[in-house]
Structure 1
Amino acid sequence: MEEIQVPSYFICPISLEMMKDPVTISTGITYDRENIEKGIFFEKNNTCLATKQSLTCIELTSNVTLRRLIQSWCTINASHGIERFPTPKPPVSKPQIIKLLKEAKSPKMQMKSLKRLRSIASENDANKRCMESAGATEFLASIINNSNEVFEEEDGFMSTKDEALSILYQLKLSKNGLRSLIMSGNGEFIKSLTRVMQHGSYESRAYAVMLMKDMFEVSTPTLLLSLNQEFFTQVVQVLRDEISQKATKASLQVLVHACPFGRNRVKAAEARAIRVLVDLLLDSSEKRTCELMLILLDQLCHSAEGRAELLNHPGGLAIVSKKTLRVSKVGSERAIKILHSISKFSSTPYVVQEMLSLGVVAKLCLVLQVDCGSKAKERAREILKFHAKAWRNSPCIPNNFLSQYPF
């Protein structure tokens, strides 16, 4: 078959593929809508690839003339196997969204309008940004804060709060949008999400903690220091229930963001976070999830309450030792930091003997032999030196490790 050369001005500068929905940006350059939206909204690249200019305005204008020219060329070359693509559906406009939001304020129209908003958000990223700029974020947050309306659906009952929460998460809000949620009602929205985690369906609880994870990534210490005990109790409960892998990771990330602060570590420990983490670690093998659990355990073991909880769990020390050198370099470093905290601040004679009988000491000797980072080796060596009298001549340490035992 004869090779067909696509005219260069039909090609998107980003993907080097033929454009199907050409749009022109503020610099006057035309791109394919899907590619430029991915660059702007997902990769956060506000620079024109062709001119290297910053985009002060991210409005995308459909290049109808070029699209029709491309479609005509496809039709002319149909005999060469070129398929004519259909005319793309135009993105929603801001006035359309404002009209829908106005209709949604009526109790009779609210659920219908919310379903329409969900459908619009699912179509493309331009619609999501349009909805955010039209005030959808504030409106959806107000429903989550205030509404208790419940409607019967074909597959069960659905509340307007559930629907609004799923849309809000689906919007993948910008940093400014997330900050507006944090500031709304003087922290009332965090309390609303906590109530959803306490009383909501499994799906809504997952959306609540995943949205909270996004918010915490742009939050301030002031917000994180204001979190109450009920918040930690409910996040830990979501973690315990293992609703989904996404919800589990989001719960871990939320707690990791919150627990650099001492008072929050105590609250998390009181919510039995340590017990849940150890239980989950026993069965978990997914790398990133294990890393997050070990990072969080390390944070919590900076408090006396956290160390006590770890030592009270029958498998606490054993699972930390087991995960050393088995997850990743990050995981090993965190596991050794946990053992260092225990050894330095909570090393009763019973704990020292338990570390020996569980194989922790042998694992620390192994750390000195392998490439796992200078910091990890330094901490392992310190732990072994702390308790040299109790451990050095023990028959529990394999002979091949004794040569690595530091004086």
Structure 2
Amino acid sequence: MDGHQDIEIPEYFICPISLQIMKDPVTAITGITYDRESIEHWLFQGNNNAECPVTKQPLPKDLDLTPNHTLRRLIQAWCADNSAYGIDRIPTPKAPLSKLQIIKLIKDLWKHELQTKTLIRLEVFAAENERNRKCMAEAGVPRAMLTYIEKCCDKNQVGGLEGALSILHFFKITSEYMKLSAFEIDKIVESFTWVLALDDESIENHKEIKSHALRILKNIIQAASSKFLQRLKPQFFQNIIRVLKQRVIAQQGVNAALQLMLDACPSGRNRMMMVESGAVFELIELELTASEKKTTELILGILFHLCSCADGRAQFLSHRAAIAVVTKRIMQVSPAADDRAILILSLICKFSGNFNFVVQEMLRVGTVSKLCSFLQVDCAAYLKDKAREILRSHYDEWKDSPCIDASVLSRLTR
């Protein structure tokens, strides 16, 4: 409304939410009229428990908004009459997307000559607004996209794959939606595992495709039952770790991959498959260049689980920067990172077969000094106990080192 100070705009032309002239006025069951875009954003995105912004009355989950054609025509006429004052004409809004339109597009998806055009139209609709996405979800678009990706996998064809993944990433796959059979879920995960294995030279925009695939896969696995995590295959982890190693995905994709691994960690079988795939070594490599707090927390969380087994600890110690990078993160990232880092060091100290190397390496890279500093800051009591336990267990090996103040070490370990 800036620039129109000299024009008195009728109050009932103004949306109560946006405080702008309404372009597509719609009336809720409470009798209040809003601009469609504003009320839909309020309902779909806001934390308002589906209340009418004006009356505070509850609104139903599936709110039916009634177009106020009379008011729209009045607004259009008023805008036309005042065009000389810089008032833009309000175009007649498009009719809302219907479920029947989407169902027809899903049918067209399986006609080879219409696939490209159909995927483009569906992506445009999905990107447009939340109302479209809700309509598309109800019409079965997410399931259709999953089926399309499965067909691509079965035929080893990448045509349309980017479009299907791009559409699918607009939708949150919930546990309610994932009421699928074990066979169906296995097929979905198999197809996404195939996507992650695709040669980067064989697909355009491979960075975006694999990032989308990992984010969708994370949602699928989090929505599936815990029993599903027991059925994951070695190839699943091998492909995720290969993608992380190649550094071919965006940061959101990296964090999705790490979350996938962390969610799978409670299973001892999965931990062994990750270790056998070289996960520990590659996670340390990734952490050496990590710049996000979330990424570090996820990496340390996974490393803690993998270091609970002997092979994981052996792989950890095979990387010469492992103890150093974990030590460096203490008191530098977050309490959650401190928790995982201290517990990793505790496992390495207590159960490592390479005792002399661990003791000397912790002294060399400053772990002992860092633990002493950690004991002097405000932190969780159980973590202080863990840090103190590490220092006590190797006190005799460290007390005579010129790098350590023996009196401080003695005082802190009492």
Is residue 97 of structure 1 aligned with residue 102 of structure 2?
A: yes
Residue-by-residue CA offset, 1:103-137 (whole Å, 9 max, x unaligned)? 22222222222222222222222111211111222
The correspondence for 2:394, drawn from 370, 382, 387, is 387
Residue-by-residue CA offset, 1:79-106 (whole Å, 9 max, x unaligned)? 6655444343333211111111112222
Q: After superposing the two structures, state which structure 1 stretch, 62-71 or 270-279, moved more.
A: 62-71
Is residue 36 of structure 1 aligned with residue 43 of structure 2?
A: no
One-letter amino acid matched to 2:186: G
What is the root-mean-square deviation in Å for CA atoms of aligned residues? 3.0
1:154 matched to which residue of 2?
none
Counterparts of 2:34 and 2:158, CA distance in 1: 41
Counterparts of 1:186 and 1:386, CA distance in 2: 48
Residue-by-residue CA offset, 1:174-200 (whole Å, 9 max, x unaligned)? 525752578672421011111111126
One-letter amino acid matched to 2:171: K
CA contact (8 A) 2:400 2:406 kept: no
The correspondence for 2:24, drawn from 21, 26, 48, is 21
Q: After superposing the two structures, state which structure 1 stretch, 95-104 or 286-295, moved more.
A: 286-295
Counterparts of 1:163 and 1:375, CA distance in 2: 49
Task: Write the mapping of 1:5-404 to structure 2, written as runs, cut at 5 A.
Answer: 8-43=11-46, 46-49=49-52, 50-75=55-80, 82-147=87-152, 159-169=159-169, 171-175=170-174, 178-180=177-179, 185-199=184-198, 201=203, 202=206, 203-242=208-247, 243-346=249-352, 348-398=355-405, 401-402=408-409
Aligned CA distance change for structure 1 residues 6 and 361 (closer, same or farther; 3 Å):
farther
Residue-by-residue CA offset, 1:210-239 (whole Å, 9 max, x unaligned)? 111222332321112211111111111121
One-letter amino acid matched to 2:174: K
Residue-by-residue CA offset, 1:274-314 (whole Å, 9 max, x unaligned)? 11111111112222222222222222222333222111111
Counterparts of 1:245 and 1:63, CA distance in 2: 44
2:26 alignment partner, SS class: strand
CA contact (8 A) 1:149 1:160 kept: no
Aligned CA distance change for structure 1 residues 343 and 144 (closer, same or farther; 3 Å):
same
Return structure 1 stretches of 4+ with deviation > 6 angstroms: none
How far 1:51 sits from its partner (Å)? 3.3
Counterparts of 2:180 and 2:252, CA distance in 1: 21
Aligned CA distance change for structure 1 residues 209 and 181 (closer, same or farther; 3 Å):
farther
CA contact (8 A) 1:178 1:215 kept: no
2:288 alignment partner, SS class: helix
Aligned CA distance change for structure 1 residues 370 and 44 (closer, same or farther; 3 Å):
same
Q: After superposing the two structures, state which structure 1 stretch, 31-40 or 208-217, moved more.
A: 31-40
Identity of aligned residues (%): 42
Aligned CA distance change for structure 1 residues 272 and 78 (closer, same or farther; 3 Å):
same
Aligned CA distance change for structure 1 residues 333 and 81 (closer, same or farther; 3 Å):
farther
One-letter amino acid matched to 1:264: N
1:23 alignment partner, SS class: strand
One-letter amino acid matched to 1:276: E
TM-score by length of 2: 0.86
Aligned CA distance change for structure 1 residues 33 and 239 (closer, same or farther; 3 Å):
farther
Counterparts of 2:287 and 2:228, CA distance in 1: 29
Aligned CA distance change for structure 1 residues 148 and 193 (closer, same or farther; 3 Å):
closer
One-letter amino acid matched to 1:165: L
Counterparts of 2:344 and 2:154, CA distance in 1: 47
TM-score by length of 1: 0.87
Q: After superposing the two structures, state which structure 1 stretch, 31-40 or 211-220, moved more.
A: 31-40
Aligned CA distance change for structure 1 residues 62 and 352 (closer, same or farther; 3 Å):
farther
Residue-by-residue CA offset, 1:21-57 (whole Å, 9 max, x unaligned)? 3333455543333333334434575512333425232
One-letter amino acid matched to 1:328: S
How far 1:364 sits from its partner (Å)? 0.4
One-letter amino acid matched to 1:383: I
Aligned CA distance change for structure 1 residues 400 and 60 (closer, same or farther; 3 Å):
farther
1:320 alignment partner, SS class: helix
Counterparts of 1:10 and 1:324, CA distance in 2: 58
CA contact (8 A) 2:50 2:61 kept: no
Residue-by-residue CA offset, 1:332-374 (whole Å, 9 max, x unaligned)? 2221121122223226233122212221111100111223443
Q: After superposing the two structures, state which structure 1 stretch, 119-128 or 79-88, moved more.
A: 79-88
